[in-house]
A and B are shown apart, each in its own frame.
Chain A
Amino acid sequence: MNVIDIRGATKVFNPGKGNQVEALAEIDLVVEPGEFVTLIGPSGCGKSTLLRLIAALIAPTTGLVEVNAKPAEQARLDRDYGMAFQTAGLFDWRTVSKNIELPLELMGWTKGDRRRRAKEMLELVKLGEFATHHPSELSGGMQQRVAIARALSFSPALLLMDEPFGALDEMTREHMQDELLRIWKETETTVVFVTHSIPEAVYLSTRVVVMSPRPGKIASVIEVDLGERQALVRDDPAFHTKVTEVRVALRKVEE
C-alpha cells in the first residue's frame, strides 16, 4: 500500500480571475512506506502547495490525491500525518510544554500521558528546562525545535515538513537533521520534506524530487542510497557526487 498516491494533480489559484496562478501542473508522485522524500526547487515552484495538497489543507483543482489509500481529506480527518511549517507557528498563550501537548489534547490523551510525552519530546530536542517558558522567551531556532517536537509528539506515521530547518544556524541544523534521521529510522515513519538546501536534501533523503516552476512540475527524481547515515557521510565522496547530480538537475530547471 502506498502512503501517498498523487495522480494528475493540478492546482490553479484564483481560477478565472486576473490574479490566476497555475501553481501545479499534472503532478504524479507515489511515496511508499518508510521513504524519505525531499522536494527541492526554486522558490515559487509549488513545493509548499504540493505539501498542502497532501495535507488536504487545500484541494486539487483536478486530479487525485490519496494518503494511506484514502482521499487526502479523509486522512486529514483521521489525523494520519503530522506537520511542521517554515515559521514555527507556536501559540504565545501556551507554554512550551502546552504547545507540544496541543495535538495530544485534540486527540483526547489524558493529562498525565500528555505531560509525560511533552517531557520526552522536549528532552529529544534538547529543551528540557524550557517546559514552562512561553515561546516569546525562546530564540527563533529554539522555537522551531519546539514546533518539530510538536509535529512528532503523537508519532504520526507520515511527517510533512515545509523547510522546517530554514531558520536554524548550521550547527543546530546538522544536529536536527541527525535527530530527524534517527527518529525516522526508529519509528519507521514516512517523511515528505521541503528544502532549498541541496546538501540537506541529499543527506536526508532516499529520493530527491526536483521541481521546476511556472507551472510547478516534477522535473526529475534522483534516488539516493548512501546506506547508514552518520555525520561521516557528509564527507563521503559518494555524498558529494549526489550533491553535484542534484545541483546539475536544479541548474537545468532554473534555465
Chain B
Amino acid sequence: MSTLKGFSAPIMTGVVLFGLWEGVLALFNPQGFVLPAPSEIAGALIDNWDDVFQGARITGYVVVSGLLAGIVLGVLAALLVTRFRTANETITPLAVAINAIPIIALAPIFNNWFGLTSARSNQAIVVALVFFPIFINTTRGLTLVDRSQVELMESYAASRSRISREVRIPNAMPFFFTALKLSTSLAVIAAIVAEYFGGRQDALGPLITQSAGLTRYDDAWAAVLAGTTIGVVLYIAVTVLERVVMPWHSLIRSHREET
C-alpha cells in the first residue's frame, strides 16, 4: 500500500514531463534530430525491439552481476575491516585513496586487461565502482554504533559474533541501503559508458554510439530509455527490499516526518 503510494508521485511526474516534452516539440517544432519526441522514440523502440531488448539483456546482465559482486565484496571487506583492527588500519586508507580514482576512466585499460570483446571488463568496472560506496558506508554503519548498546550486550556476556549480529549488522543496514541505492544508478552509468570503449558489440552502449553515429537519434534514445528502465527497476527493487528487510526504519522515518 504505502509502497504503491510512494511510487505514484514519481510516475505522475514522469507522465507530466513526457506530456510537456511531446507538447513543446509539437508546438515549436525545432529540427527533429536535436531531440526526438517521445512518440518517435516509442516508434523506434517498437521497430528495433529485438536489438534494444538484446542490448538491455546484455547490459542488464553486466549491471546486475557487477552490482552483486560489488555488494558481496564490499560487505565482506567491511566485515573484515571491522573484525580486525590491523585490516582496518591498512585497507581503509587504501580504499579511500583508490576511491578518488575516477574508475570510469579506467575503462580502456580494463579492456586491455580483460579482453576487448568480452563483457568481463565492463563487469569489472561496475564491480570497482559499486565496491567503494558499499564498503565505506557499511564499515561506517558497523562501527558507528551506540556505545551503551554494545556495553549492554557485553553485560550479558554476549560473544563478539552475537554483538555483530544483534547490534552492528542491524545498525549498518540503513547505511548499506543508502549506498546501494546510489550504486544502482552508478552501475547503469558505468556499464553503458564502459561499453562505449569495448565489450560485447550487441550491448546498449555500442547500440547508442552506432545509432548516434548514423544520426539515428530516435534509435539512440530508445536504447537510452532501455538503460533508464534497468536503473529504475533496480532502484524500485532495492526500495522494496529495504522495506522488507528493515520495516522498523520506515517507521522511524514516518515518525520523524510527523514531528
Do A and B associate with each other? Answer: yes
Chain A: residues with CB nearer than 8 A to chain B? 52, 55, 57, 76-79, 81-83, 85-87, 89, 91-93, 102-103, 106-107, 134, 136-137
User: Which B residues, 237 to 259, have Cβ-Cβ distances below 8 Å to chain A?
Assistant: 246, 248-249, 251-252, 255
Task: Please give, as numbers and ranges, the residues of chain A lying within 8 Å of B148 by CB-CB distance.
Answer: 85-87, 89
| Contact A137–B155 (Cβ < 8 Å) | no
| Contact B255–A137 (Cβ < 8 Å) | yes
| Contact A93–B155 (Cβ < 8 Å) | no
| Contact A76–B157 (Cβ < 8 Å) | yes
Q: Tell which of A57, A87, A107, A134 touches B155, judged by Cβ atoms closer than 8 Å.
A: A57
Residue of B nearest to A78 (CB): B157
Task: Please give, as numbers and ranges, the residues of chain B lying within 8 Å of A83 by CB-CB distance.
Answer: 151-152, 155
CA distance A82 to B156 in the complex (A): 8
Task: Please give, as numbers and ranges, the residues of chain B lying within 8 Å of A86 by CB-CB distance.
Answer: 148
Beyond known contacts A91-B166, A106-B156, A134-B248: 13 more, CB 8 A cutoff: A55-B151, A76-B154, A77-B157, A82-B155, A86-B148, A87-B148, A89-B149, A89-B151, A91-B170, A92-B252, A93-B173, A93-B246, A137-B255
Chain B: residues with CB nearer than 8 A to chain A? 146, 148-149, 151-152, 154-158, 162, 166-167, 170, 173, 246, 248-249, 251-252, 255
| Contact A136–B248 (Cβ < 8 Å) | yes
Q: What are 22 residue pairs bridging A and B, where the CB atoms are less than 8 Å apart in the complex? A: A52-B151, A55-B155, A57-B155, A81-B155, A83-B151, A83-B152, A83-B155, A89-B148, A89-B149, A91-B149, A91-B166, A91-B167, A91-B170, A92-B249, A93-B248, A102-B166, A103-B156, A106-B158, A136-B251, A136-B252, A137-B251, A137-B255
Residue of A nearest to B159 (CB): A106
**Nearest chain B CB to A37's CB is how many angstroms away?**
18
Task: Please give, as numbers and ranges, the residues of chain A lying within 8 Å of B252 by CB-CB distance.
Answer: 92, 134, 136
* Given A85-B151, A89-B148, A89-B149, A79 and B251 contact (CB-CB distance below 8 Å): no
**Nearest chain B CB to A142's CB is how many angstroms away?**
13
Residue of A nearest to B256 (CB): A136
* Given A91-B167, A93-B170, A102-B166, A85 and B152 contact (CB-CB distance below 8 Å): yes
Task: Please give, as numbers and ranges, the residues of chain A lying within 8 Å of B167 by CB-CB distance.
Answer: 91
Q: Which of B154, B162, B246, B248 has the most CB of A within 10 A?
A: B248
CA distance A134 to B170 in the complex (A): 14
